[in-house]
Chains A and B, each alone.
Chain A
Amino acid sequence: MPLVEVDDLSVSFKQYTKGFKHKEVKVIHNLSFSINAGEIVAVVGSSGSGKSLLAHAILGILPRNANVSGTIHYDGKELTPSLQEKLRGKELAFVPQSVNFLNPLMEVEKQVRGALKGKDSFKTQKEIFEKYNLSTDVEKLYPFQLSGGMARRILVSTAVINKAKFIIADEPTPGLDQTVVKEALSSFKAFADNGTAVMFITHDIQSALSVADKIAVFYAGTTVEVAPVEDFTGSGERLRHPYSKALWRALPQNEFRPIPGSQPKGDELPRGCLFAPRCDMTTTECLEHLPEKRVLRNGMVRCIHAT
């Protein structure tokens, strides 16, 4: 049984247009996702494809005006708002993109110890800081005094000390040079080896491939494909969905050739397959219904033409 299972999740927002009219903007729809203990699943896709919102939905930190439907299960239990609140920051850890998620008015060592009590907490915290190359003077710093790399290591050590079972890392690597990226990725690997499930959100396919077991490709608010990392090879012939193939081929180390067009917006989604307007395999059937997800070659795909 998967540790986290998201089924048929939809999230929409009400947005005001002119005057008093409002429209529904669908940011996530019919989304399914699952992750097992000890597994690293990378979620890739362009900005606006709903990657971060999925993370926020699982953690229960969506804005209050969000309209949510569908189910999320954690360890066999339904993940209700009260359960989310209980687990968040403990079993469910979040490594966000920015330092803004740390409490700006508290020394980092206190935040890392957080929920732990008793004498042991000091010892554990010191050990973990040592393990992550955080010197003793870092302990007394406040978040604004940290560099980006340090802040990330602190967030990671918070997850360690709380013995997180599920870690969501939101874009932890962009703009970092190779050594820092490697360091961040290897810490996720270490988590997974200890049985933690890691959901790794990124738009950077390269770093996703170097660490993940599976890759979930998002497009316009839904999962179009889930594939084992081995399938990202050659010119993408083993990939299932035309969008994943296009993503792969557009990499500078591959063909660097983009497909034309852009991702549809949440208030003007096409009726049928979301990718149909940009796809060269489109048939009339594609334009009529959203393709059902189906299992294909040890992965999942939402395309009627995929083989």
Chain B
Amino acid sequence: MSSMMKMVKFSIQPFISLNGRQRSFMTLVIVSLLLLCVILGGLVLSNERIATDLGNRNLGPSLAHPFGTDWLGRDMLTRTLKGLTLSIGVGLTAAAASVTIALILGMLAATMGKVVDSIISWLVDLFLSVPHLVMLMLISFALGGGIKGVVIGLALTHWPSLTRVIRAEVMQLRSAEYVEVSKRLGKSRWFIGRKHLFPHVAPQLMVGLFLLFPHAILHEAAITFIGMGLSPHQPAIGIILSESMRYLSTEMWWLAIFPGLSLLLVVRSFDIIGEHLRSRLDPHRAHD
């Protein structure tokens, strides 16, 4: 029996030249560079390329026009980049505003007593029970549409889920022994909120920002697409897609495919950033 015993060393260490943090960092650099190219492209490319040029109408993809041109001879690459830049701006502003709302409401709900908590919880439930898009259309419409309407609409519809997360997190922290000790050491509520509670929710906020953002962009594109968001004069990606729909049956496939894929790419990029941040900032994975 013992002669059959094999002494096998077990070792679970695959060869990796980068550690986890370095890999995340590289991913983030690549993704950020990509996004930077999109934004720079959108800002730098001249408006001449999207001026009407009837001599170059309906061209397929070529070296001069990688994404082709549309029925007015406008360069689709330029249109797409400008559209995405606008969308990123709108999405980022709206996501940042949403995160701020979530932080304030989440902290208030968890620390200001039962009445405030039930009011905020009721609001969260209310907003979650109505589909985002419907709420967004109502708010945007009420505010007269345009960039302002869309941004405010997005900000006001994307906070509830994150508020819930923050409220739960703070609720749990509030009764932590170190918070109780801090009170007996004579520290103020403000000190405890800032120094003890905030560092625990800060990672959630960062992650929240990057995960809300793609949502916001897609919703912006969606309501613009159905004509209730940004005005048709804005070079928004939703406008491009909705216009292109009309030409889909005319074999001008490039009109919808390239802008659509680009939108997908940008959204995915932010998703990746969010996921990496989440796993890096999660204390349970600090050693990974």
Chain A residues with CB under 8 Å of chain B are: 1, 13-16, 20, 22, 63-71, 73, 76-78, 80
Contacts and interface: CB of A to CB of B under 8 A. Distances in A.
Nearest to A8: B9
Contact of B6 (A13, A66, A69, A78): A78
Given A13-B287, A15-B287, A20-B19, A68 B2 contact: no
Nearest to A22: B19
A64 B6 CA distance: 25
Contact of A20 (B1, B7, B10, B25): B25
A202 B11 CA distance: 28
B10 A14 contact: no
Q: How large is the interface on B (under 10, 10 to 19, 20 to 34, 35 or more residues)?
A: 10 to 19
Contacts of A14: 19, 287-288
B6 to A, nearest CB: 7
A149 to B, nearest CB: 23
Interface of B: 1-2, 5-13, 19, 21-22, 25, 286-288
A218 B9 CA distance: 23
A64 B11 CA distance: 12
A68 B10 CA distance: 7
A255 to B, nearest CB: 33
A76 B2 contact: yes
Contacts of A65: 287-288
Contacts of B25: 20
A67 B288 CA distance: 11
A78 B287 contact: no
Contacts of A70: 9
Given A67-B12, A67-B13, 18 more contacts: A14-B19, A14-B288, A15-B286, A16-B19, A16-B286, A20-B22, A22-B19, A22-B21, A63-B287, A65-B287, A67-B11, A68-B12, A71-B8, A71-B9, A71-B10, A73-B5, A76-B1, A78-B8
Contacts of A22: 19, 21
Nearest to A25: B287
Nearest to B6: A78
Nearest to A12: B13
A78 B10 CA distance: 10
A80 B9 CA distance: 10
Q: Which 9 A-B pairs have the closest CB atoms?
A: A65-B288, A20-B22, A13-B287, A69-B11, A65-B287, A22-B19, A20-B21, A67-B13, A15-B287
B16 to A, nearest CB: 10
A299 B286 CA distance: 40
A297 to B, nearest CB: 27
Contacts of A67: 11-13
A48 to B, nearest CB: 16
Contacts of B7: 71, 78
A59 B13 CA distance: 19
Given A15-B287, A63-B287, A73-B5, A80 B19 contact: no
Nearest to B5: A76
A80 B12 contact: no
A64 B12 CA distance: 9
Nearest to B25: A20
A275 B140 CA distance: 71
Contacts of B8: 71, 78
A73 B1 CA distance: 13
A70 B6 CA distance: 13
